[in-house]
């Protein structure tokens, strides 16, 4: 199993923890023997010196066991916590490399459960194993050995029960691993409903759907409960059954013992001894089965973690960079590009071809759902085209290093996504070492500086997740500033000015023009499109017209319609 | 109100345990059953070995086989009942524990539905999610095993103590010498683990929040090539969790070891003291042997109890974080006499309303206006002027700091929020869609709408044709990243949702801004029909929406600068006139 290989670096602390556990066990076994000697050599012989000497020895070794136990704690905690840390790290790094197709398979809520809850399960299991796991099998083995030494024939009466019980335990373990997997899946679901409710809280409030959502949550919560109850009950059935058969075997020992005593082949003392060993083995056995149950739960979790680690990121970085000469300033080419989203078969882009020359502004127009945003996402390689290719400065983007490619692109998506933290931290996403001047410059160009300046904490103002304490327009402008601070060679504005009023928008577009970058802008406004060097008019995934404003006005029926619709709007005012 | 501090910040461990107990006590009958089964299994657990001892004496030692079969059959029945009682106690307890966890989770969720919106403004989603999953997980695993363990430990402890006292009060006293040491040791350890568990759960919540945010924000992380930075930040948080977890585990690990040592210590003490007493002839050797066995029996339940205590601490750490949320101030409960509205006219009036998100600086300042039944009101002004805030006040997402808002002439505070919002339809800035089918998403506007009504609403919002073009039509499932559905189409769907709701008051917040103009014209037409007879508040930047409005409110810096119709405001030659001239007029010129 892939997850087990994460134990490798901790072989030494694990071995240390296990040996310390053996020390404890040895002390535990030695003590009754010492006790016997205190009685035989001390008390029976009326020798107070021996009583005290052996008593002192007993005390000494119990401190030894104590010390071993304490040190074991450190090693066990060290190994398990680091194991958990490493797992989380690998999972997180893996997820950072995921493509959006991967995210379709592992929805966020599930990834979150796997990275916290499942890792915790494994971590707890390892800690427990390093502290007590060896004990149970050793006690069983020891007990069996002693019983065999006493009388092999009688011992067989219960030893024969052990293999079928082991088979039974393994069977239950397999079964409950499956049940626990379902528990974790239900947990994903609960997590998912919760997440959706948090992000949609405003809508839910607006429509007074609290009760409806509570009902939905309650249903998925109930499923989680039912699955948990199932899994736990299945595992808890094991111990009573196990105990019953072990106890029956004691009765068998008594029965055969009685016959053998009558035959004179065995002494009463031997029968008593074997009965005692059986009792001990039974104790150890129930502990053993408990451990197996914990392991079965861990098995479910480790499977889920393994699934994530084993997933192939289907979008991988190319190895090339553009050298100085090639990096001519942000030329973008689309060559016969078709695209459909992963796991769907609807083509949202069909045979797209166009070139945006360095420094040009290209406006992309089209009805909603015509493929404008999809087209944008191919440039920073959030997705790869299904046919054709996208090239930046003459090089297919698939050949370029992710970092290198994306560093040149300032992308402002439609929904302004901000992160918890200060405004400064959010702007620093664009350039981590940006100076105050650079921040102010970008903020001014994005027409957001005045707003920031009017906030009590200015650039240090803390934003909630998704920037909820800003208005839609403010969020958009902040995310534009975040892109501008990169000084990108390619700027992608995905209808990013939609929530801005016309005055602010005009100022913003003017400021952007000073940046020497190739700009692609999705817009609905003819007024914005008119200023562009080139207009792409899209319909149902195709570019149906392409050219300057005047050319389109003369040649495209749809463009004329759009123009007239807006003209109409303005005229009636 | 903004920093809703929990009332019992320093809720003690005892308090938290008591609160968990309240949930458990709903299952008193079953708990009694569990308790009875624990007593039964303990008794049978003792009876079995006792009977075996007797059988050895009466049959094996005596060499008699007479009636052995019968005795053994009797024993088999004892063991059968023993196993059944064990099974039953676990079976019931698992049910009780999971029902408890279920109720706590549901209560937590319901509570979230009642918290004021501003509570969510500064909370990370993932952090809240951690409380529902990871923190509750602690409670769950503790309840499953601890209650039974505690029952049976206490029982065994009491029983053993009684037998020990009966055998030899003197040696019992010697054995008890370890109890104070144990107590001190436990106190030392749990004072640390308690704190560490809390820290661990907090760090876990923090990490969960970070994971959620970075998974949701993948688009930005990727295009800004910030993977490395995010990973570094993650490692710092993950390391904090590791540190807290490490020390929590180390200290927890001390407990059984400490108990083991004390166990051995008492064993030695009994042996040594017993030896000395025996030499002096005060007790018999047999008593020592029996006593050492009982001393062991005595420490085992103590050992179990101390382990359970620690598990309990981790549950308490989890439960406290859940209770923290349950103790948050709610969305100002509706007034006692609050009225449930139905079938209102839709008249909205602001009287001198002021409000600010933060304590400092007003976002809206002494605002007064009136929107009559069926009127459309356009809110105009620069971005961030306070237009969205006005909407938040009408919907009572936020309560005004001063002034009153009247609905049909009634102070909106005296109306239940739920019934008030039922009178409203919304198209909000974020067109949020739930995972589920398109049909379900539209039906969210009115849950009892028929399929046909849903489709009619979609048609009215001009969403019908694009939905029909999708392979699964209305049954298309919208997944995580909404692949295949554009932002504009999402807006169409949320308009359809509002149409279906058939509200008296309609709220459109920058709804039409990313829909192409041709579609928008069609929507305008649909909305025009929809708006008829409904009071409508619109935040829009399109001129035609604004100029068709019955009333325009010009807002700047949270203040109402001007109000009136397009015509009257133009004639007034004030701020609106300038705004119009500077923006729209120039824009018109460009378009031409």
Tell me the nearest-neighbour CA distance from A343 into chain B, angstroms.
10
**Chain A residue at shortest CA distance from B241:** A85
Return the percentage of chain B with pLDDT > 90, whole number.
5
CATH code assigned at A333: 3.40.50.300
Contact with chain A for residue B362, Cβ under 8 A: no
Beta strands A387-392 and A332-339, pairing class: antiparallel
Does residue A444 sit within a domain? no
Q: Do A73 and B99 touch (CB under 8 A)?
A: no
Q: Do A232 and B98 touch (CB under 8 A)?
A: yes
Q: For residues B177-187, give the mean pLDDT.
A: 82
Domain termination residue (choose one: A133, A161, A185): A133
Examine the pLDDT at B80 and tell me if it is beyond 90. yes
Same domain, A92 and A3: yes
- In this complex, which of A95, A370, A500 lies closest to B215 when CB atoms are compared? A95
Of B138, B248, B316, B338, the C-alpha closest to A80 is B248
Listed by number, the residues of chain A in 213-232 with a beta carbon closer than 8 Å to a beta carbon of chain B are 213-214, 217-218, 221-222, 224-225, 228-229, 232
Instruction: Quickly list H helices, B64-135.
Output: 68-114, 117-121, 125-130
**Chain A residue at shortest CA distance from B134:** A117
**Chain A residue at shortest CA distance from B265:** A59
Contact with chain A for residue B47, Cβ under 8 A: no
Q: What is the pLDDT of residues B304-320, one digit of tens each?
A: 777 777 778 888 888 88
- Position with higher pLDDT, A396 vs B340: A396
Q: What is the pLDDT of residues B264-273, one digit of tens each?
A: 777 777 777 7
Same domain, A271 and A393: no
| Residue pair B483/B472 in contact by the 8 Å Cβ criterion | no
| Residue pair B474/B438 in contact by the 8 Å Cβ criterion | yes
Q: Do A420 and B213 touch (CB under 8 A)?
A: yes
Same domain, A145 and A274: yes
pLDDT at B589: 40
- In this complex, which of B101, B265, B587 lies closest to A527 when CB atoms are compared? B587
Q: C-alpha distances in angstroms, B474 versus B346, B442, B471?
A: 32, 10, 9
| Residue pair B255/B310 in contact by the 8 Å Cβ criterion | yes
CATH class of B338-423+504-592: alpha beta
Contact with chain B for residue A318, Cβ under 8 A: no
**Chain A residue at shortest CA distance from B71:** A251
Q: For residues B548-554, give the mean pLDDT.
A: 83
- In this complex, which of B60, B80, B219 lies closest to A271 when CB atoms are compared? B60
Contacts of B586 in chain A (CB under 8 A): 506
Given pLDDT bands bounded at 50, 70 and 90, which one contains residue A573? very low
Same domain, A172 and A307: yes
First to last CA, chain A: 70
Phi, psi of A520 (to 5 degrees): -110, 125
pLDDT at B40: 92
Return the percentage of chain A with pLDDT > 90, whole number.
5
Does residue A103 sit within a domain? yes
Alpha-carbon torsion angle B14, B15, B20, B24, nearest 10: 80
Contacts of A451 in chain B (CB under 8 A): 383-384
Same domain, A249 and A307: yes
CA-CA distance, A408 to A330, in Å (whole number)? 8
Contact with chain B for residue A348, Cβ under 8 A: yes
**Chain B residue at shortest CA distance from A123:** B245
CA-CA distance, A97 to A113, in Å (whole number)? 18
Contacts of B113 in chain A (CB under 8 A): 197, 204, 210-211, 213-214
Lay out the sheet containing A490-494: strands in order across: A409-412, A490-494, A518-522, A361-366, A534-539, A542-547
Examine the pLDDT at B3 and tell me if it is beyond 50. no
Same domain, A144 and A128: no
Q: Do A406 and B225 touch (CB under 8 A)?
A: yes
Listed by number, the residues of chain B in 141-200 with a beta carbon closer than 8 Å to a beta carbon of chain A are 144
For chain A, give me the number of helices (H) and strands (E)?
21, 12
Lookup: tokens for B175: 């054995």
CA-CA distance, B589 to A194, in Å (whole number)? 50
Q: Is the dihedral of CA B308, B309, B313, B319 positive or negative?
A: positive
pLDDT at A508: 79
Whether B432-502 and B13-326 are alike in CATH topology: the answer is: no
Lookup: tokens for A146: 């002693």
Contact with chain A for residue B65, Cβ under 8 A: yes
Does residue A341 sit within a domain? yes
Q: Is the dihedral of CA A451, A457, A462, A468 positive or negative?
A: negative
CA-CA distance, B507 to B530, in Å (whole number)? 12
Same domain, A294 and A147: yes
- Rounded to the nearest integer, the mean pLDDT of chain A is 81
pLDDT at B582: 61
Does residue A165 sit within a domain? yes
The single-letter DSSP state of residue B564 is E
- In this complex, which of B249, B388, B481 lies closest to A80 when CB atoms are compared? B249
Phi, psi of B355 (to 5 degrees): -160, 145
- In this complex, which of A93, A117, A258 lies closest to B65 when CB atoms are compared? A258
Contact with chain A for residue B254, Cβ under 8 A: yes
CATH code assigned at A179: 1.20.1560.10
* Greatest mean pLDDT among A25-34, A344-353, B81-90, B395-404: B81-90
Instruction: Quickly list H helices, B115-177.
Output: 117-121, 125-130, 136-167, 169-176
Tell me the nearest-neighbour CA distance from A130 into chain B, angstroms.
11
Q: Do B480 and A62 touch (CB under 8 A)?
A: no
Same domain, A129 and A230: no
pLDDT at A571: 39
Number of domains in chain A: 3
Lookup: tokens for A480: 């534009």
Q: What is the pLDDT of residues B128-155, one digit of tens each?
A: 888 888 888 888 888 887 888 888 888 8
First to last CA, chain B: 51
Same domain, A123 and A143: no
CA-CA distance, A193 to A218, in Å (whole number)? 10
Contact with chain A for residue B444, Cβ under 8 A: yes
CA-CA distance, B427 to A472, in Å (whole number)? 14
Between B68-114 and A162-199, two packed helices, what is the crossing angle to 10 degrees? 10
Beta strands B402-407 and B410-411, pairing class: antiparallel
Same domain, A87 and A144: no
Tell me the nearest-neighbour CA distance from B388 into chain A, angstroms.
7
Does residue A40 sit within a domain? yes
- What is the helix (H) or strand (E) element at residue B560, kind and residue range? strand B559-564
pLDDT at B493: 82
Tell me the nearest-neighbour CA distance from B4 into chain A, angstroms.
16
Choose the weakest-confidence range: A129-143, A315-329, B53-67, B562-576: A315-329
Q: What is the pLDDT of residues B469-526, one digit of tens each?
A: 777 888 887 765 555 677 777 778 888 888 888 888 888 876 545 667 666 676 777 7
**Chain A residue at shortest CA distance from B462:** A368
Domain termination residue (choose one: A77, A106, A133): A133
Q: What is the pLDDT of residues A61-120, one digit of tens each?
A: 888 888 988 898 899 999 999 999 999 988 888 888 887 777 777 888 888 888 888 998
Same domain, A400 and A291: no
Q: Is the dihedral of CA B519, B525, B529, B535 positive or negative?
A: positive
Tell me the nearest-neighbour CA distance from A498 into chain B, angstroms.
5
HEC secondary structure over A135-177? HHHHHHHHHHHHHHHHCHHHHHHHHCCHHHHHHHHHHHHHHHH
Helix, strand, or coil (residue B4): coil
Place of tokens 């040996």: A19
- In this complex, which of B94, B488, B583 lies closest to A503 when CB atoms are compared? B583
Q: Do B421 and A207 touch (CB under 8 A)?
A: yes
Q: What is the pLDDT of residues A267-320, one digit of tens each?
A: 777 777 787 778 778 877 777 777 877 888 888 888 888 888 888 777 777 777
The number of residues making up chain A comes to 573
CATH of B13-326 given 1.10.3720.10, 1.20.1560.10, 3.40.190.10, 1.25.40.340: 1.20.1560.10
Listed by number, the residues of chain A in 478-507 with a beta carbon closer than 8 Å to a beta carbon of chain B are 482, 486, 495, 498-504, 506
Domain termination residue (choose one: A103, A133, A163): A133
Return the percentage of chain A with pLDDT > 70, whole number.
94
* Every domain of chain B and the residues it spans: 13-326, 338-423+504-592, 432-502
Contacts of A420 in chain B (CB under 8 A): 124, 209, 213
Does residue A155 sit within a domain? yes
- Position with higher pLDDT, B462 vs A168: A168
pLDDT at B351: 86
pLDDT at A499: 64
Q: For residues A324-349, give the mean pLDDT.
A: 78
Q: Do B417 and A208 touch (CB under 8 A)?
A: yes
Same domain, A142 and A245: yes
Q: For residues B448-472, give the mean pLDDT.
A: 83
**Chain A residue at shortest CA distance from B512:** A498
The residues, any chain, with a CB within 8 Å of residue A414's CB and separated by 6 or more, are A373, A494, A495, A496, A498, B487, B514
pLDDT at A83: 93
Largest CA distance in chain B: 122
- Structural domain harbouring A232: 137-311
pLDDT at B124: 80
Does residue A93 sit within a domain? yes
CA-CA distance, A374 to A378, in Å (whole number)? 7
Q: What is the pLDDT of residues A486-545, one digit of tens each?
A: 888 888 888 777 666 667 777 778 888 888 888 888 887 777 777 788 888 888 888 888
What kind of architecture, by CATH, is found in domain B432-502? Answer: 3-Layer(aba) Sandwich (3.40)
């Amino acid at each position: 199993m892939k997850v087990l290989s994460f134990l490798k670096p901790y072989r030494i602390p694990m071995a240390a923890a296990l040996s310390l556990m053996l020390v404890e066990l040895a002390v535990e076994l030695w003590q009754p023997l010492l006790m016997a000697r205190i009685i035989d050599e001390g008390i029976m012989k009326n020798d107070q010196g021996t009583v005290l000497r052996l008593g002192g020895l007993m005390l000494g070794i119990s401190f030894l066991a104590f010390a071993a136990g304490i040190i074991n704690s450190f090693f066990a905690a060290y190994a398990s916590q680091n194991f958990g840390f490493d797992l989380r790290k690998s999972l997180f790094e893996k997820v950072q490399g995921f493509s959006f197709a991967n995210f379709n398979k592992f929805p966020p809520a599930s990834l979150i459960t796997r990275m916290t809850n499942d890792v915790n399960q494994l971590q707890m299991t390892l800690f427990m194993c390093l502290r007590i796991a060896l004990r149970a099998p050793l006690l069983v083995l020891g007990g069996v050995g002693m019983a065999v030494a006493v009388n092999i024939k009688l011992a067989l009466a219960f030893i024969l029960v052990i293999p079928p019980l082991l088979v039974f335990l393994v069977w239950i373990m397999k079964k409950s691993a499956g049940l626990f997997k379902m528990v974790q899946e239900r947990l994903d679901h609960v997590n998912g409903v919760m997440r959706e409710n948090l992000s949609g809280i405003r809508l839910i409030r607006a429509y007074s759907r609290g009760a409806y959502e509570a009902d939905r949550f309650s249903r998925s919560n109930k499923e989680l409960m039912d699955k948990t109850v199932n899994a736990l009950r299945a595992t808890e059935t094991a111990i009573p059954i196990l105990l019953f058969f072990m106890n029956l075997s004691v009765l068998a020992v008594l029965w055969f013992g009685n016959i053998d005593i009558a035959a004179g082949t065995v002494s009463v003392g031997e029968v008593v001894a074997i009965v005692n060993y059986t009792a001990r083995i039974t104790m150890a056995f129930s502990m053993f089965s408990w451990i197996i149950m914990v392991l079965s739960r861990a098995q479910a979790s480790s499977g889920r973690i393994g699934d994530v680690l084993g997933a192939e990121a289907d979008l991988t970085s190319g190895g090339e960079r553009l050298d100085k000469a090639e990096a001519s300033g942000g030329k973008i080419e689309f060559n016969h590009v078709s695209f459909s989203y992963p796991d769907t078969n609807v083509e949202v882009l069909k045979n797209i071809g166009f070139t945006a020359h360095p420094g040009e502004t290209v406006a992309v127009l089209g009805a909603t759902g015509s493929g404008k945003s999809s087209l944008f996402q191919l440039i920073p390689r959030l997705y790869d085209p299904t046919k054709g290719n996208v090239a930046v400065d003459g090089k297919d983007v698939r050949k370029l290093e992710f970092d290198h490619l994306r560093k040149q692109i300032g992308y402002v998506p439609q929904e302004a996504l901000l992160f918890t933290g200060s405004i400064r931290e959010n702007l620093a996403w664009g350039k981590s070492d940006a100076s105050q001047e650079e921040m102010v410059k970008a903020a001014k160009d994005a027409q957001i500086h005045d707003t920031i300046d009017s906030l009590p904490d200015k650039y240090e103002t803390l934003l909630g997740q998704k920037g909820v304490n800003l208005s839609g327009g403010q969020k958009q402008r902040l995310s534009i500033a975040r892109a501008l601070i990169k000084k990108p060679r390619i700027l992608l504005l995905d209808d990013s000015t939609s929530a801005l009023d016309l005055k602010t928008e005009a100022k913003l577009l003017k400021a952007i023009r000073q940046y020497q970058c190739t700009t692609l802008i999705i817009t609905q406004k003819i007024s914005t499109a008119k200023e562009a060097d080139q207009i792409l008019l899209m319909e149902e995934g195709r570019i149906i017209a392409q050219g300057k404003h005047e050319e389109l006005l003369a040649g495209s029926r749809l463009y004329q319609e759009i123009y007239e619709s807006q003209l109409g709007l303005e005229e009636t005012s | 109100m903004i920093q809703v501090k929990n009332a019992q910040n320093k809720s003690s461990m005892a308090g938290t345990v008591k609160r968990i107990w309240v949930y458990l006590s709903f299952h008193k009958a079953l708990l009694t059953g569990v308790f009875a089964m624990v007593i039964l299994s303990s008794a049978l657990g003792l009876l079995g070995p006792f009977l075996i001892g007797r059988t050895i004496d009466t049959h094996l030692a005596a060499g008699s086989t007479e009636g052995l079969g019968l005795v053994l059959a009797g024993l088999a029945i004892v063991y059968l009942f023993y196993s059944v009682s064990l099974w039953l106690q676990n079976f019931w307890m698992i049910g009780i524990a999971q029902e408890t966890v279920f109720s706590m989770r549901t209560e937590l969720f319901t509570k979230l539905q009642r918290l004021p919106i501003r509570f969510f403004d500064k909370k990370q989603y993932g952090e809240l999610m951690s409380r529902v999953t990871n923190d509750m997980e602690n409670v769950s695993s503790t309840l499953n095993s601890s209650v039974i363990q505690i029952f049976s430990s206490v029982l065994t402890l009491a029983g053993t103590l009684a037998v020990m006292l009966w055998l030899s009060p003197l040696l019992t006293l010697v054995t008890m010498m370890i109890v104070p040491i144990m107590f001190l040791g436990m106190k030392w350890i749990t004072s640390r683990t308690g704190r560490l568990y809390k820290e661990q759960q907090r760090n876990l919540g923090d990490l969960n929040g970070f994971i959620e945010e970075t998974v949701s924000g993948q688009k930005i992380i990727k295009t800004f090539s910030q993977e490395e930075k995010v990973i570094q930040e993650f490692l710092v948080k993950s390391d904090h969790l590791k540190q807290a977890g490490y020390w929590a585990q180390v200290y927890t690990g001390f407990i059984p070891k400490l108990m083991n040592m004390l166990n051995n210590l008492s064993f030695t003490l009994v042996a040594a003291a017993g030896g000395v007493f025996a030499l002096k002839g005060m007790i018999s050797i047999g008593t020592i042997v029996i006593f050492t066995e009982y001393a062991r029996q005595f420490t085992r339940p103590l050992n179990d109890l101390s382990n359970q205590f620690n598990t309990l601490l981790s549950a308490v750490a989890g439960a406290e974080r859940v209770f923290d949320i349950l103790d948050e101030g709610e969305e100002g409960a509706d007034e006692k006499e609050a009225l449930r509205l139905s079938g209102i006219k839709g008249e909205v009036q602001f009287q001198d309303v002021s409000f600010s998100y933060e304590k400092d600086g007003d976002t809206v300042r002494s605002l007064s206006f009136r929107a009559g039944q069926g009127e459309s009101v356009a809110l105009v002004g620069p971005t961030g002027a306070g237009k969205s805030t006005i909407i938040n006040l009408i919907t009572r997402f936020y309560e005004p700091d001063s002034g009153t808002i009247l609905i049909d002439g009634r102070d909106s505070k005296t109306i239940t929020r739920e019934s008030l919002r039922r009178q409203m339809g919304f198209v909000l800035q974020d067109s949020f869609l739930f995972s589920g089918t398109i049909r379900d998403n539209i039906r969210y506007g009115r849950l009892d709408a028929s399929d046909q009504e849903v489709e009619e609403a979609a048609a009215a919002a001009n969403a019908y044709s694009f939905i029909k073009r999708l392979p699964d039509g209305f049954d298309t499932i919208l997944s995580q990243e909404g692949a295949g559905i554009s932002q504009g189409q999402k807006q169409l769907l949320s308009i359809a949702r509002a149409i279906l709701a058939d509200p008296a008051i309609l709220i459109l917040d920058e709804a039409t801004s990313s829909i192409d103009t041709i579609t928008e014209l069609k929507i305008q037409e649909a909305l025009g029909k929809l708006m008829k007879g409904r009071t409508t508040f619109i935040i829009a930047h399109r001129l035609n929406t604004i100029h068709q409005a019955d009333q325009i409110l010009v807002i700047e810096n949270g203040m109402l600068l001007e109000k009136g119709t397009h015509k009257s405001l133009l004639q007034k030659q004030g701020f609106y006139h300038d705004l119009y001239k500077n923006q729209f007029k120039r824009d018109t010129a460009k378009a031409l």
